[in-house]
Structure 1
Amino acid sequence: MKRTLLILVTFMLMLTAVCSAAEPRFDNMRTVLIVNTAQRDYAAQFMKKRLVQPFRIPYWNRMETSEVLSPADVTLATMRALSQTYHADIVVTPIVRTWYWNQYHLFLRGDDDEIMTDCMYNLTVYAYNRKDDTLKSYSSYGRERDSISVLNDPDTILRKAMNEIMKKLPYKRIPTDLETPGVIPSPLQVKETDGGARILINTSPAAI
């Protein structure tokens, strides 16, 4: 029994090692640090879940930290310090500036009472770029008011707002600003013989 268990454990360790080795990574992979805020409401949690989605391997090495920032803490100096501490190329944090969601009865004449939803929001993602040493913000804000039959799920508003922010955020699932790999010079060169003929020669012959 012990031998069988030992074989099983060894097999699982080998399988884990193979899977890890097969995981593709790029030399120009960048590290992004996701920083939590002191805000614990539903809107803040939704923003965090949506924000982390594009930052995955092989293009991104996503890190999270126990650091917690209040909205007032999100400054260039603070984000720069976090970038240096965690060796992160990009530091991002979601901030809820305004989130108001209220449902109420609208009393009309007769028996035609209606339940209404009133929503106001202002969401912002802050992003620090170590290469440029810049801190930029990307926001979505607005107000919605409609019948509960049309607007009854806060995710509808939060999803729309975060989709708008993620379109503005320049850091995508597949980065569009990665440097183009350098062109490898060809070992073949043109040489002219004594007779005037032009031939290709290999300047880096392989050893046999």
Structure 2
Amino acid sequence: MLKDATKLISALGCIFLLLIISFYFSKLSTVKIASNSMAPNLLEGDIVLTYQTAPELGDILLIEDISGKPFAKRLVALNGDKICYSGNQFTRKNNYKELMGKYIDSHGNVYEMYQELSGEQYYNTIYTPIFDPTEHCISVPENNYFFLGDNRTRSVDSRIRDFPRLSEGEAYPKLVFIIYANDFSRIFQIIR
């Protein structure tokens, strides 16, 4: 009798453990980066692990455009934030930015590389400065977020597209780390 009870408890424990593991891993997936709009942090062809979580300022999320095609962009402003942009320059209240030097991509294009801060996350951005005397300032509408690519010169993002409609408190795929890259030194690099 005791032997049967032990087997039952072991079986129930295994089932419980399998349920927990399957729940945890159902939040994980992978995505292949389709363009260099997130360079220098993510490059075309990178395969990245994602994890379903509530978004935070500075996270790179996998979101869908109007046609349903997924793309990776950085969350740089939340609903109610006042933001301004002119050409490739982006500012938000208390937005830290420091010139780090030059960045040359695989095609020989030269960009200025900056370190920026969103929320509590530092990350690198690149762009070719474009003079645009027109400054666009907006307040991010309620229940909306503002997304930018880290390659400000080559990114189609919230500056051009409609704001993706995301609900606060919902979980979205956050890009966590690179699991494959053409440059093997970048494999298992944590995404910031």
TM over 0.5: no
Higher relative contact order at CA 8 Å, sep ≥6: structure 1 or structure 2? 2
**TM-score, with length taken from structure 2:** 0.25
TM-score (norm 1): 0.24
When you count helix as a share of all residues, which structure comes out higher?
Answer: 1
Larger Rg: 1
